[in-house]
């Protein structure tokens, strides 16, 4: 499984669009891996997680062929994870030619479906996204799409909906994708243990970075607890790759400093464009 982190910031981006804090100024000055866009990850070349407004920028920066993507699993309806406007560009014969996959199939909770329908409802007949489907999925109900088996698990995050973290198997390897969430629910650990899940990689919400974490996101002070518990119940072993991701500019550590602190705790630090092969 090839995992490409396309966007690794929290909702506001880093540097944040309207921010002049010390950490945004430093990120602008240093550039490189300190520039982080909104959350999105590509699995192999045909499976996306989330569809933020930065999707177009991700295509420009990495050169990926978005028309190859057949499946897009959305974690929740927050705008940094799902912004449907550009889906209108998926229109063979007008906005797009020679697309590899005729249809992009999007999956998400009822809030994602509602957001999509509200958006489409405002469009004229000629503007409708013509080659996109959206399907509602439910927690603990694995779905098979092509060679992938995807299990949505409930996240401790957006209280007005049922946000998901995802267990994704591509027929060979398994990724546990913990975005966005605070400390996972006990029932999620129970589900993983009872089902004998082995994760080859875990990607952890680390929004708070160096700040004391709490509530509906995690930080460097809480991810080791999750890492330890997953190991204790046998979901991970010494071969598992652990990565931190989804960082806020409020978290106070630029990329190199964050790499060092996270590395000491046994995590690799994601950056926009990072590729991990498991």
Give the footprint of Zn ion on this chain (CB under 5 A): 16, 19, 21, 24, 78, 80, 180, 249
Within 8 A by CB and 6+ apart from 146, the residues are 46, 70, 71
Least distance in angstroms from the C-beta of 24 to Zn ion: 3
Least distance in angstroms from the C-beta of 112 to Zn ion: 12
Q: Quick one: 142 or 215, whose CB is closer to Zn ion?
A: 215
Q: Quick one: 16 or 192, whose CB is closer to Zn ion?
A: 16
Least distance in angstroms from the C-beta of 219 to Zn ion: 14
Least distance in angstroms from the C-beta of 51 to Zn ion: 13
Token pair 């005729």 is found at: 102
Write out the chain in H/E/C secondary structure. Answer: CEEEEEECECCCCECCCCCCCHHHHHHHHHCHHHCECECEEEECCCEEECECCCHHHHHHHHCCCHHHCCEEECCCCCCCCECHHHHHHCCECCCECCCCCCCEEEEECHHHHHHHHHHHHCCCHHHCCCCEEEEECCCCCCEEECCEEEEEEECCCCCCCCCEEEEEECCCCEEEEECCCCCCCHHHHHHHHHCCCCCCEEEEECCCCCCCCCCCCCCCCCHHHHHHHHHHCCCCCCCCEEEEECECHHHCCCHHHHHHHHHHCCCEECCCCCEEEC
Tokens matching residue 95: 């906005």
Is the separation of the CB atoms in 48 and 58 below 8 Å? no
Q: Quick one: 70 or 246, whose CB is closer to Zn ion?
A: 246
Q: Quick one: 70 or 249, whose CB is closer to Zn ion?
A: 249
Least distance in angstroms from the C-beta of 149 to Zn ion: 24
Q: Quick one: 80 or 272, whose CB is closer to Zn ion?
A: 80
Q: Quick one: 21 or 145, whose CB is closer to Zn ion?
A: 21
Least distance in angstroms from the C-beta of 246 to Zn ion: 6
Least distance in angstroms from the C-beta of 172 to Zn ion: 28
Q: Quick one: 16 or 150, whose CB is closer to Zn ion?
A: 16
């Amino acid at each position: 499984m090839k995992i490409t982190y396309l966007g690794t910031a929290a909702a506001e981006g880093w540097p944040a669009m309207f921010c002049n804090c010390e950490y945004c100024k430093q990120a602008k000055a240093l550039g490189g891996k300190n520039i982080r866009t909104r959350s999105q990850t590509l699995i192999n070349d045909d499976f996306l997680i989330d569809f933020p407004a930065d999707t177009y920028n991700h295509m420009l920066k990495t050169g990926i062929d978005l028309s190859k993507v057949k499946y897009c699993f959305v974690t929740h309806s927050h705008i940094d994870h799902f912004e449907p406007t550009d889906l209108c560009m998926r229109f063979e014969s007008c906005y797009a030619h020679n697309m590899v996959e005729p249809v992009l199939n999007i999956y998400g909770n009822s809030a994602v479906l509602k957001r999509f329908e509200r958006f489409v409802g405002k469009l004229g007949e000629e503007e409708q996204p013509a080659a996109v489907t959206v399907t509602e999925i439910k927690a603990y109900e694995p779905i098979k799409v092509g060679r992938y088996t995807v299990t949505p698990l409930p996240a401790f995050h957006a209280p007005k909906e049922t946000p998901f973290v995802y267990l994704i198997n591509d027929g060979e390897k398994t990724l546990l994708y913990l975005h966005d969430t605070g400390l996972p629910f006990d029932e999620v650990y129970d589900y993983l243990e009872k089902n004998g899940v082995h994760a080859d990689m875990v990607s952890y919400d680390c929004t708070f970075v160096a700040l004391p974490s709490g509530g509906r996101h995690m930080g460097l002070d809480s991810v080791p607890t999750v890492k330890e518990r997953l190991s204790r119940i046998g979901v991970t072993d010494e071969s598992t790759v652990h990565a931190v991701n989804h960082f806020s500019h409020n978290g106070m550590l630029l990329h190199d400093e964050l790499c060092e602190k996270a590395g000491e705790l046994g995590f690799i630090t994601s950056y926009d464009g990072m590729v991990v092969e498991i």
